[in-house]
Amino acid sequence: MLPRLPVSLAAALLALAAAACDSPATSTATATAPAGPEPFVAPDAPADPKAAAARLASAGTQPDSLHLLSPGRAGRLALGMSEKSLLARVPAAQLTKTTHVYKGVTYPAYLMTDAQQPTAPPSRLELVGSAATGYTLRRIRITDPQYRTGEGIGVGSPFGAARQVYGLTRVRSSEGDFVAISSQQRMGWILDENSLPADHSADMPSSAIPPATRIVGVFLVK
């Protein structure tokens, strides 16, 4: 038979046991941080293209083949291609037909949504020609930050980076946009005019544009 413990000692032991039961268990597992939102997907708010552009630009995201900008091309689209070829390459579900006016004449155009990111800003595809001879793709206007050149320049990039890479010299108004045109790349870099004085000239040397001015769109024109 075990010796009987004094009442005071037994009470102390019971108190220690109770305290141990109330203490939280120690775990060595490491919590996994939840993944951040997709570039155009916010959990409780509409998509924010400007925020997406900033994230993509800061991450230095390089485009896949469907979002690569190169002279005369934007992914699978090429300037000068026929409307028939355009409709064969892009699923009808991604296209909304509209119109645009060029030199006083109304021509067909399409708004193209992105298959990978349907909430991204649609690209505008503008055609020229006639019903008799057929229409061809003259101009592509892009505000989707997924599209970038091989050098990583696109919507959301600072203008200073584009100027350094492509040697841009002049910035001027063109078809409603304030752009720096690269004849070598056959692209126009649309700038955020909100960062410039309201009375700025419609034709400026690129050296007069603050390097931090953001690119808000890109157009390719034949």
Using CA atoms in the order 37, 39, 41, 46, what is the torsion angle rounded to 10 degrees?
A: 120
CATH number corresponding to 49-221: 2.60.460.10
> Phi, psi at residue 74, to the nearest 5°?
-135, 100
C-alpha closest to that of 151 among 185, 117, 107: 185
Q: Which of 91-95, 113-117, 197-201 has the lowest mean pLDDT?
A: 197-201
CA distances for 184 relative to 3, 61, 62, 209, angstroms: 98, 23, 21, 20
Q: What is the pLDDT of residues 61-99, one digit of tens each?
A: 678 889 999 999 999 999 999 999 999 999 999 999 999
C-alpha closest to that of 96 among 55, 124, 60: 124
Q: Measure the CA–CA gap between 172 and 161, rounded to whole angstroms.
A: 18
The model's pTM is 0.71
> Phi, psi at residue 98, to the nearest 5°?
-145, -160
Per the DSSP assignment, residues forming a β-bridge with 97 are 110
C-alpha closest to that of 168 among 135, 131, 130, 211: 211
Provide the strand spans (E) within the chain: 68-70, 73-74, 77-78, 95-102, 105-112, 123-130, 134-142, 148-149, 170-174, 177-182, 187-191, 203-205, 215-221
Q: What is the pLDDT of residues 12-33, one digit of tens each?
A: 544 545 444 444 444 444 433 3
Kindly report the average pLDDT of the chain as a whole number: 80
Q: Which residues does 204 contact at the CB level (< 8 Å), separation at least 6?
A: 170, 171, 172
Answer whether residue 179 shows pLDDT above 50.
yes
Element of type H or E holding 159: helix 159-166
Q: Judge contact between 73 and 79, C-beta under 8 A.
A: yes
